[in-house]
Amino acid sequence: MAAPAPDFALQLAHVARKFGAQFVLRDVTLDLRPGEVAALFGGNGAGKTTLLRVVAGLLSASRGEGRVFGYDLKDKRSVREHVFFMTEGGGLYGDLTATENLDFTARMYGLTAPSAELLERVGLGAAANKRARDLSSGMRKRLQLARMLLAPSPLLLLDEPFANLDAGGKDAVLTHLRAAQDAGKTILFSSHEPELAGQVATRTLTLEQGVLG
């Protein structure tokens, strides 16, 4: 793979990933420039979450190459310093309150969290002292959104950000994604909701049988 151009946020070249003998990703090639917002579509089992986990440095590619802001995907520490990954169901500590989850995230980045302000922005001001495990699925998603707002990472990876949210929550996601784009961040997110995704995405991608189209 040629040396990356400095103006690329993400470069993937023929990336594949298999579990056992089964390939989930077969041949994924993709370039994203800073500020692009790409929506990733595909049926259940198409490999969307696997692709996001490879880019986030949580899984290694079985073959192929990739870079995040010039850092090789094999350099997992550097990649993770540039990526925020919002998973569909995880990323929170159940025994910690909403405020404590944000404070912990802030410490990971060497920041001081404006926790009360962030929780108000995502509609969780009244749940500041509730443990994450006691929040509804929609409230947990809002808490993850607050973590995203806190993260300084230039590349945001979001796995089904609209899932488990009511209409107000989905509108909040759109609002904050637009704000992140205005701030110059690059966003790659998976979705099953093309009408919503189309309101913010500058590009649409489809993953079928492990191949990006």
In a domain, 137, yes or no: no
Average pLDDT, the chain: 92
pLDDT in tens, 39-79: 999 998 899 999 999 999 999 999 999 999 999 999 999 99
Q: Within a domain: residue 99?
A: no
In the chain, how many domains are there?
Answer: 1
- Each residue of 143-178: pLDDT tens digit? 999 999 999 999 999 999 998 888 998 999 999 999
Average pLDDT over residues 184-201: 95
Banded pLDDT at 135 (limits 50, 70, 90): very high
Question: What dihedral do alpha carbons 190, 196, 199, 205 form, nearest 10°?
Answer: 30
Residue 107 in domain: no
Question: Which three-class secondary structure state does DSSP give residue 186?
Answer: strand
Under 8 Å between Cβ of 82 and 69: yes
Classify 164 as helix, strand or coil: coil
Give the pLDDT confidence of 17-38 residue by residue, as tens digits: 999 999 999 999 999 999 999 9
Let me know if 161 is exposed, middle or buried by CB neighbors in 10 A (0-12, 13-18, 19+). buried
Domain around 197: 10-92+152-212
Q: Is residue 190 part of a domain?
A: yes
Please report whether residue 59 resides in a domain: yes
CATH label of the domain that carries residue 26:
3.40.50.300
pTM for the model: 0.92
- Can you tell me the mean pLDDT for 88-95? 83
H-type helices in 19-166, by residue range?
A: 48-55, 76-82, 98-108, 115-121, 137-150
In a domain, residue 115? The reply is no
Extract long-range pairs of 148-151: CB within 8 Å, 24+ residues apart: 148/84, 148/86, 148/176, 148/180, 149/118, 149/121, 149/122, 149/176, 150/102, 150/105, 150/106, 150/109, 150/111, 150/113, 150/118, 151/84, 151/105, 151/109
Give Cα 149 to chain centroid, integer Å: 12
Report yes or no on 170 lying in a domain.
yes
Residue 124 counted as domain residue: no
